[in-house]
Amino acid sequence: MASVIRVTKEFSFEMSHLLWNYDGPCRNVHGHSYRLFVTISGTPANDEENPKNGMVIDFTDLKRIVRKEIVTVFDHSVVVSRRYDKEKTELFKKMFGNTVLVDYQPTCENLVSDFAFRIKSQLPAGVKLFSLKLYETATSYAEWFASDNI
């Protein structure tokens, strides 16, 4: 009988953001060194002719997906809610270059949910996104679990 296995890969990127209409210091542009742990689950391939035999997913394939969907988009960017003042948003684009506008408040909680959506749609058949853990600081993180989001 085949076992369902979970595998995890860690990614790191630098990103700044600000929180629209927030009543604390995070209303100002500031940055973090993010760490993202992506855990997928599935049954390892059981075919000696398959070059991926014994793997749920090739870590290289998972790396390609997460880099394309998350890291290349958000690394060294300023993430801002579309609700933020449009004039200031235009200034951010001029000052910082890579400005990513999102349809949500760019908190750690909302980012991890967005990342889950982006990654899930790119996984191969038979491979499921199990969870994400996004560290915003060394001691603060948000988690997303597929079982909580059915």
Residue ranges per domain, the chain?
5-75+108-148
* 103: Cα separation from own chain's centroid: 15
Catalytic site residue 109?
Answer: no
User: Is residue 38 scored above 70 in pLDDT?
Assistant: yes
Over residues 37-48, the mean pLDDT reads 96
Q: Categorize the per-residue pLDDT at 21 as very low, low, confident or very high, splitting at 50, 70 and 90.
A: very high
The 10s digit of each residue's pLDDT in 94-105 is 999 999 999 999
CA gap 34, 31 in Å, rounded = 9
User: Is residue 92 scored above 70 in pLDDT?
Assistant: yes
The pTM assigned to this predicted structure is 0.94
What homologous superfamily is domain 5-75+108-148 in, according to CATH?
6-pyruvoyl tetrahydropterin synthase/QueD (3.30.479.10)
Dihedral sign, Cα of residue 19, residue 12, residue 117, residue 88: positive
Residue of 10, 14, 26, 143 marked active site:
26
Catalytic site residue 108?
Answer: no
User: Is residue 150 scored above 90 in pLDDT?
Assistant: no
The 10s digit of each residue's pLDDT in 104-115 is 999 999 999 999
Q: Are 31 and 64 in contact (CB under 8 A)?
A: no
